[in-house]
Amino acid sequence: MNTEAYRQLDREHHLHPFTDFKALGEEGSRIVTHAKGVYIHDSEGHRILDAMAGLWCVNLGYGREELVEAATVQLRELPYYNNFFKSTHPPAVKLAEALCRLAPSHMNRVFFTGSGSEANDTVLRMVRRYWTLEGKPDKQWVIARENSYHGSTVAGMSLGGMAPMHAQGGPTVPKIAHVRQPYWFGEGRLGEGGDGEERRFGPEAFGRECAAALEAKIQELGEENVAAFIAEPLQGAGGAIIPPASYWPAVKEVLARYNVLLVMDEVICGFGRLGEWFGSVYYDLEPDLMSIAKGLSSGYLPIGGVLVGDRVAETLIERGGEFVHGFTYSGHPVCAAVALKNLELMQAEGIVERVREDIGPYLFERWTTLAEHPLVGEARSLGLVGALELVADKTHGKRFAKDLAVGNLCRDISFDLGLVMRSVGDTMIISPPLVITRAEIDELVRLAGAALDETARRLAAREQADESTLREESRS
């Protein structure tokens, strides 16, 4: 089958996630056929540097034979058995132990799911159950943040703060509130709506203001009604938003004053992305629960889970009776075997230390040179996550008009030049495999620079075309 044949069948039968079905039908999909290391290959013979690690998940890169082998061996041994009805199997038990060894010392239990969304569904049920068992059934409210991403099931979407998802999702799950996000460039520096008006205070004051918004919300709802605060260590899908340094210490101070659980959604930051095993460790937080998925198996097979701290686990175990929740594929043996091998490889190869001490700082050094580009209002990175803010006016950090869709233009150009960068509005983001080399980072930054140049050239050409149309119109 050739590219057109695949595109035709895809158009006729396949509804893609987060996609305008009609527009994609007209344009046609890119058919990715194979991959190796940090490169994907498509059916047209293009080799493309995957600076998104798939969807923030292929941390060990493509084509790792050890992971293929682990899956193959387990498929032969026991392809499936469940963990219901007083049963389990070696891969689930071994993975549970390995995870709890890597997690902060107060986290000694894990509940397995098939994905990050299911992990956050589990979180919602666990925190509400916990407070009920503690004799505080009114503690039901969960506070999350605007523009956060916690998955796409109904509970995941409700916990997340993505306005377009709420608009389509129908009524969301009750008793979930959202507070402002610590997005300095978008909402601090640029002001609400990115109007380009410089604020009088700096990022650190802004970070404290966002933490104060959490405290105000707890007081508004009443501490006796609030179960938990859930957040990503740094927001991924929202635009690789790195909070100001003041933010997490200030949030910690707020939470210390109230009896509210802390849930960290580690689906992206977990497993080395920030140069620690968990983002919570990087930010020195002690969460009660952590959602995990994505990098847990380097994306080779779907698996997620919730790491449960002793405080919550003891109540659920000692007083809970049956917890009536679980999935057919909770702790699937093949997925668990691959995740376990993935963690072993990460340890044997010192991947987390490498991100912290070598390749993370190198990415920062190279990536932030892009800040000099006329289109870039800010270039930031932490560990192996990076973002570029595209702006119309560099001096004032003023955004482009939304309908120009400059971020999408830059993303498409980047793809054509051989680099996967993703766009979130006019924020370009990267999250490359953790095994990326220095030479590959050089190539990544060179291609990103070329994509910026070409985006600027096309915008200028568009502007010229618009001007000549205007001249023509005024002449006639």
Ligand X SMILES: *Cc1c(COP(=O)(O)O)cnc(C)c1O
Q: Which residues bind ligand X (CB under 6 A)?
A: 115-117, 120, 149-151, 232, 236-237, 265, 267-268, 293-294, 304
The two structure tokens encoding residue 68 = 């293929």
Q: Which is nearer to ligand X, 17 or 171 (CB)?
A: 17
CA-CA distance, 406 to 397, in Å (whole number)? Answer: 15
The two structure tokens encoding residue 352 = 């987390």
CB of 432 to ligand X, least distance (A): 16
Other beta carbons less than 10 A from residue 423's beta carbon: 20
Q: Which is nearer to ligand X, 74 or 115 (CB)?
A: 115
Helix (H) / strand (E) element for 35: namely: strand 32-36
User: Among all residues, whose Cβ is closest to ligand X?
Assistant: 116
Contact 150/178 with Cβ under 8 angstroms?
no
CB of 312 to ligand X, least distance (A): 19
CB of 118 to ligand X, least distance (A): 7
CB of 53 to ligand X, least distance (A): 12
CB of 283 to ligand X, least distance (A): 15
Q: Which is nearer to ligand X, 116 or 425 (CB)?
A: 116
Cα-based distances in Å from 412 to 236, 291, 406, 463: 20, 32, 10, 19
Q: Nearest to residue 272, comparing CAs of 293, 288, 289, 295?
A: 295
Q: Which is nearer to ligand X, 231 or 417 (CB)?
A: 231
CB of 398 to ligand X, least distance (A): 29
Residues in CB range of 217: below 8 A, 6 or more apart: 143, 177, 179
Residues in CB range of 301: below 8 A, 6 or more apart: 71, 332, 334, 335, 338, 339
Q: Which is nearer to ligand X, 237 or 419 (CB)?
A: 237
| β partners of residue 48 | 40
Q: Is the dihedral of CA 350, 356, 358, 359 positive or negative?
A: positive
Contact 386/380 with Cβ under 8 angstroms?
yes
CB of 325 to ligand X, least distance (A): 16
Q: Classify the phi-psi angles of 284: left when phi > 0, otherwise alpha if psi is within -120 to 50, otherwise beta.
A: left
Rounded (5°) CA angle 289-82-66? 80
Q: Which is nearer to ligand X, 293 or 459 (CB)?
A: 293
CB of 133 to ligand X, least distance (A): 26
Which amino acid makes up residue 19? T
CB of 113 to ligand X, least distance (A): 9
SS3 222: coil
Q: Which is nearer to ligand X, 207 or 295 (CB)?
A: 295
Q: Which is nearer to ligand X, 275 or 304 (CB)?
A: 304
CA-CA distance, 209 to 189, in Å (whole number)? Answer: 13
Q: Which is nearer to ligand X, 331 or 377 (CB)?
A: 331
